[in-house]
Chain A
C-alpha cells in the first residue's frame, strides 16, 4: 500500500464559530469543538440542525460569520476550499460525469504537484484500496450506486488530506450495502489513521463508525462524547431519544446516598447512579432492551398490560400499557412469548436506566 496518511492527519478546532445566512437565519450558533487527529467524529442530528453547515465550514465551502476554525495549528477561517488540505465525499458523490473513474480519482492529484506516472500510480492504488481495481475506464453512469460511492471515497482519499469529510455518504445506498460500506470506511480510516468528520442523521450508523459523536440540535451542540457515553449517559431527553430509542418515564427521587439514588415509580423502586440529582421529581430514561417483562407478579414491579406484540425474527418487540403511560420493550426470548392482552409485571434491568439531569 503506497498510501500512508497517518502522519498528515490533523486536528480540527472550532472556537466560538457562528454562521448566519443572510441577516436572520442562524445556521450554527456559537459552536466550540475539538477533533483529535486520527479520530472519526460524527456530527449527528435531525435535518436542519446545522451539521452539514458545520461540515462545509471545515471544507471551506462556507465561511464562518464569526469565530475561528483551525486545522492542525493553522487558522483556516478565511481560507477558501482550494487552499485547505481537506477533501470531501459528497452525499450525491459529485462524480464528474464527463470523466471516467480513473480521471475522477486522478483529478485532485493533478493539482497537488504529482507527475503523471505518480498520479496514475496513486489513483490506481486508491481504486485498489476501495476494491475497484479494473473499473478505471468506466464512466460514473456505468457504475452501481455502491461503486460510485467508492469512487467518491477513493477520489477524496488519494489526496491524503489532513481531514477527510463525509456528508451523509451512505444515504443513497441500500441497507445491506450500508453496513458493508460503513465498515469499510471505518477500516480504511483506522488503517490509515485518518482524521474523519462524518455527517449523518442515522444514529445507528453514528454509533457504529465513530470514535466520538457530536449530537447537534437547533444550531447548537446538544452533547458530545463517545458512542457509549451518549448511549448510556445521555444528558437530556433529546439525546436519549435521538440515540437509540428510550422510554422516558416520570419518577420521584426519594433519597440520594453517596452516588446512588433511589427512585420510585408508583410502587416500584429502583437504585441507579444519581448523576448529581437531588430528591424530587425527575425523568428516567430506559432503553427498550432494559425493560424486563415477566408473567409472574413480584413484590417490586410495575403492573402493565401488553398492547402489541411483534415477532421480528431475532427478538420480540412489545408495547405495554402501564399507569403512567406506554413502554416499549424488546426481549430476546422468542420461545415463550406474551400475546396482546396479557397482564405482565415490568422490571428494569439493574444497569442501564439513567436519570436525566433536569434542564
Chain B
C-alpha cells in the first residue's frame, strides 16, 4: 500500500505545478524565436504578445481563458482530498476533462478573425478580439490537464490503477489525434471543397474518377494512370526488397561468411543516402550521357536510349534504397529465432533444408510481412526517385506534389490523390495482419538459450551468395560514382577533377571574429543536423512506448488504439506534408514555417519504425519476464526501464539511427514544410538539381553520407550491445 502512495503523489504534484507554471509564468501564445529568450526583456510579462494567461486576464484581455482557473483550482482540491477520498478519482477526471475540453473548444472557436464559425457569432454576438496559435503556456497547461485526467482514470481502477500505463496511453492517443488524425481530417474535408469554398461530393468524384488516376492506356501502348503505376511498382519493390533483405540477413546470421561486419556496413550505406542521390547516380551510369551508356554504344554501336527514365530506373533506385530497410527489419527477426528450436528440428530428423523451410522461415513470418509492408509503403511514398527518374511514369506521390506546388495549385486534387494513396497503404496493412493471424512467435523465453544457429542448406546458400554479391557489387559501383561525381567539373561534358563544388558549399573562413561559415550549404546543413538530432530520440521514445502498450498491456479500446497508431504507419510523407500545411497554418496550432513542424512531421512520419522494431522485438520477449519483475516489486515504469528497454537495445538503436537518418534524408514531407529560415539539406539539394547544378548536389549528398556514417558510429557506441549471453560461434 505504501509504495502506491510513494509513486503516485509526486506525479500528481508535478503535473499540478506544471499546470500552474503554464498558466502563471510561460507566455500563453506562440512566439517566434522562443529559445532566444528575447521576449523576457521585451515587455514580459505585461506585453500581450508575450504575456502568460494570468497577466492577460489581469489586463482584461482574452477573458475566455478565465474558466481555465476553475480546473486548476480543482486540481488542488483533489490533492487535498488524497487518494483515499471517495471523490478523488472523479474530481481528477472532471478537472482534467473540463480543462482539456475548454482549451480545445476556445482554441477552435476563436481564431485569427474572431469567431471561427458563423454559428458561434450568431450565438454569442460579434467578437472584436482574436487570438493566435497556442504557445508554450497553453501547451504545458494542456499536458497538465491531460495527465490529471489519466491519473483520475487510473485512480478509478483502470488497468489496475497503473498511472504509468494509463498516462502513456493518454499521451499517445492525444499526440496521435493532434498530429495524425486532425491533419488527415482537415485534408479529407479539403477533398470535398469546391473552388467557391462550399462542400460537394461530386467534386470529389470528378477528381477521383479521373483518367490520370485509373487509365489503363499502358496495356495498349499508351500511359497508365498514376494509381496503377504506383501499385505495380510498390508490389514489385515490396517483394524484391524483402527477398534481398532476407538474403542479407541469412548471409550475416547463418553462414560461415567472414566479412559479415563489412556486409552490415555495406547494407547500411543506402539508408544514409538521400533517396534521390541513387537516382542521380543511376543517371550518371545509365542516362543518355552516362558512363555505361556511352561505353556500350561505343563498343556495340547501340543507339543510346532513355530506358532508365521510367519504371526500370525507379525500380532499380528503390531496390537499392529500400533493401537495407528490409534487412534491418529481418536481421532482428532472423537472429531472434531461437536456435534451440532449429536444433530441436534438426534432432527430429529434419534436414537443413527442411529445418529452414518448416521452422526458421515460418518463425520469420512476422519479419517478412513487416519487411514487405515497409518496402511497399516506402515505394508508394517515395518522392525523390520518381521525381528524378520517373520520366513519363507518373506515380501518386509526385502527382500530389505537382497538384499542390505546380501551376495547378489544386488542394482538392492533392487531397483526392492522397486518399487513394492512403487506401493502398491501408489495404497493405490489413493484408499483412490477415496473413500473420494470431500465431505466437515468442522465442526468447526467460530461460537462457544456449543453442547456435545452424548454417543455411547449400541449395539455398549458393543463390543467396550470388544475389548478395551482385547487389553488393552494384552498390559499390553506385557509391564510387557518387563520390567520384562530386569531384567532376561537369559530368559528361567536362571531366576534369575539381574541389569546386565542395568549396562552394562548405567553405569556411577564419576571420578575426572567429570562424565564418561562408559556404552556401552551411545554413541548411546546421538546420538539418539540429532538427534531426532533436527528432530522433523523441521518435524512438514515442515509438517504443507505443510498442510496449500494444504488446504488453490490455485495455479497453486497444484495437482502436492500434489502428490509430498504425494509421500513421500507412501515411506516406507527401500526404503528411500536404495535410500539415492544411492543418497547421492557422490557430490553434500554428506552426508552419517553424522548426517545430519539421520535428513533429519527422516524429510521426518515422514513429511507426520505432513501433515496428519495438513490437517485433518485444513480441519475442516472454511475458513472464515482465511478470516476474512486477512480482518482485517493480512497477510498470520501472519494469519498462530496467527489463524491457535493456533487452530492446538493438531495437532502440535501430529506431534512433533510422529516425535520425530519415530526418536527414527525408524529402517527401519536408519539401512542403521547409521555409526560408528552416531550409533542410534535401530540399536545398533538390533545388540545386532543378537548376541542373548536379555537381554541387552530389558533393553535398556525399558530405551528408559521411556525416551520417559518423553519427551512426557514435550512436552505436552510445547505446552499446546488450549481452544476453547467447553463444554466437560454432568454435566453442
Where the two chains meet, the residues of A that have a C-beta atom closer than 8 Å to any C-beta of B are 59-61, 63, 74, 78-84, 86-88, 90-99, 107-108, 111-112, 139-143, 145, 148, 152, 155-156, 159, 165, 172
Contacts and interface: CB of A to CB of B under 8 A. Distances in A.
A156 B633 CA distance: 10
Contact of B448 (A88, A91, A97, A165): A97
A111 B632 contact: yes
Contact of B725 (A63, A79, A93, A97): A97
A34 B631 CA distance: 21
Given A60-B631, A141-B725, A82 B448 contact: no
B351 interface: no
Given A74-B1, A107-B632, A98 B646 contact: yes
Contacts of A139: 448, 723-725
Given A60-B631, A81-B630, A98-B722, 4 more contacts: A81-B631, A83-B4, A112-B633, A165-B631
Nearest to B6: A113
B447 A86 contact: no
B558 to A, nearest CB: 14
Contacts of A95: 446-448
B161 A92 contact: no
B633 A159 contact: yes
Given A90-B446, A96-B643, A141 B724 contact: yes
Q: Which 8 A-B pairs have the closest CB atoms?
A: A141-B448, A108-B632, A94-B446, A141-B725, A139-B725, A80-B160, A94-B628, A81-B630
B631 A83 contact: no
Interface stretch (B254-262, B402-410, B619-627): B619-627
B699 to A, nearest CB: 44
24 contacts: A61-B627, A61-B630, A63-B160, A74-B1, A78-B157, A82-B3, A83-B3, A86-B631, A90-B446, A92-B445, A92-B622, A94-B622, A94-B624, A94-B627, A96-B647, A97-B444, A97-B647, A98-B723, A98-B724, A108-B632, A139-B448, A141-B448, A143-B448, A172-B447
Contacts of A84: 631
A36 B601 CA distance: 59
Interface string B158-176: 0011100000000000000
A155 B643 CA distance: 15
A177 B407 CA distance: 80
Interface in B3-47: 3-4
B449 interface: yes
B633 A94 contact: no
B642 interface: yes
B530 interface: no
Contacts of B647: 96-98
Contact of A142 (B445, B635, B646, B725): B725
B634 interface: yes
Contacts of A107: 629, 632, 634, 642
B635 A94 contact: no
B724 A97 contact: yes
B625 to A, nearest CB: 5
Interface in B600-657: 622, 624-625, 627-636, 638, 642-643, 646-647
B378 to A, nearest CB: 32
Contacts of B630: 60-61, 80-82
A142 B445 CA distance: 15
A240 B446 CA distance: 36
Contacts of A152: 628
A111 B638 contact: yes
Contacts of B624: 90-92, 94
